[in-house]
């Protein structure tokens, strides 16, 4: 996986992208265990289930357009539960977790806990 980090990228983002590259060397999604990839922006959380063998995104869930007044950790947990519901509807029970270079803390941890509560195993 080749990722170009420009000289205009902030140090924090560059460090996350370097961690992402290291993580992706070992974390791969298959047909039996697709990859649950997390992205977090300033306001929203996004989760995708990806099959790396075929290079397709199986499903995606985000906090965009949700009418709830939940923010932060609560919204991340909600997204985790929703991605688990969508995955079980497509008969996906086991996934591999890709934290995408973020620390396993705060919103990322909350999303993972919500996915586990929803029935995903990783």
Q: What is the pLDDT of residue 7?
A: 64
pLDDT greater than 80 at residue 40: yes
pLDDT greater than 90 at residue 98: yes
Q: Determine the average pLDDT of the residues in 7-25.
A: 86
Q: What is the pLDDT of residue 3?
A: 62
pLDDT greater than 80 at residue 100: yes
Q: What is the pLDDT of residues 106-115, one digit of tens each?
A: 999 999 999 9
Sheet of strand 96-98, all strands in order from the earlier edge strand to the far edge: 56-62, 45-51, 35-40, 96-98
Using an 8 Å Cβ cutoff, are 112 and 83 in contact?
no
Instruction: Report all structural domains of the chain as residue ranges with CATH numbers, in order of start.
Output: 37-55+64-122 (3.30.420.100)
Q: What is the pLDDT of residue 64?
A: 92
3-state secondary structure at position 38: strand
d(CA 86, CA 59): 8
Ramachandran class of 101: left when φ > 0, alpha when ψ lies in -120 to 50, beta otherwise: left
d(CA 105, CA 122): 16
pLDDT greater than 60 at residue 29: yes
pLDDT greater than 80 at residue 24: yes
Q: State the DSSP string of 49-103.
A: EEETTTTEEEEEEESTT------THHHHHHHHHHHHHHHHHTT--B-EEE-TTS-
Q: What is the pLDDT of residues 41-81, one digit of tens each?
A: 999 999 999 999 999 999 999 999 887 788 899 999 999 99
Q: What is the pLDDT of residue 4?
A: 63
């Amino acid at each position: 996986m080749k990722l170009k980090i420009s000289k205009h990228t902030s140090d924090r983002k560059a460090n996350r992208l370097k961690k992402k590259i290291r993580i992706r060397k070992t974390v791969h999604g298959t047909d039996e265990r697709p990859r649950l990839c997390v992205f977090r922006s300033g306001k929203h959380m996004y989760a995708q289930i990806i099959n790396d063998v075929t290079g397709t995104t199986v499903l995606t869930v985000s906090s965009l357009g949700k009418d709830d007044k939940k923010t932060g950790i609560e919204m991340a947990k909600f997204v985790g539960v929703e991605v688990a519901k969508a995955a079980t509807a497509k008969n996906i029970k086991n996934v591999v977790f890709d934290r995408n270079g973020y620390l396993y803390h705060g919103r990322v941890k909350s999303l993972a806990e919500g996915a586990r509560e929803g029935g995903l195993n990783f």
